[in-house]
Amino acid sequence: MNIADLKHQLEDLVNDLATQVNAKKKVTLAAGWALIQDAITQIVFYIDKNVGDTLGNPDKKAAAMVAIEVIIDIVCQVITLPFLPAFMERWLDTYIKKILMVLADGSIDATVAAMHKAKLYFSKTK
């Protein structure tokens, strides 16, 4: 398996997650982050279960980040910041996405570390 194959396999999972997120009309930033966290967990578990050691960790993380970026794009569309005027909220969307991407990057590492600490592996190669 190569990284392109993994990205292709993740498309169905991402589409399912995107459908769940799109079902929400408006969510708070905290609720949006919870949706992203759930997606990160599902994506990390999916990669571990279906890829195992056939790809290196940097490739697996790169594929996860591509998938999570799609989810973050969708979440950014439904996040509402009621304390800001609408024109400022639209202007801040780009910055919010950048912040969420940085948080997601660290969250992937934390999720993988927690799985290792708990000895929670799905793949047959572990």
CA distance 49 to 65: 17
The tens digit of pLDDT for each residue in 59-105 reads 899 999 999 999 999 888 888 888 888 788 878 888 999 999 999 99
The mean pLDDT value for 52-62 works out to 86
Q: How far is CA 76 from CA 5, 23, 102, 126, in A?
A: 27, 14, 14, 36
User: Domain extents for the chain?
Assistant: 3-117
Q: Which one has a higher pLDDT value, 32 or 122?
A: 32
Q: pTM for this one?
A: 0.82
Whether pLDDT at 116 is above 70: yes
Is residue 13 scored above 90 in pLDDT?
no
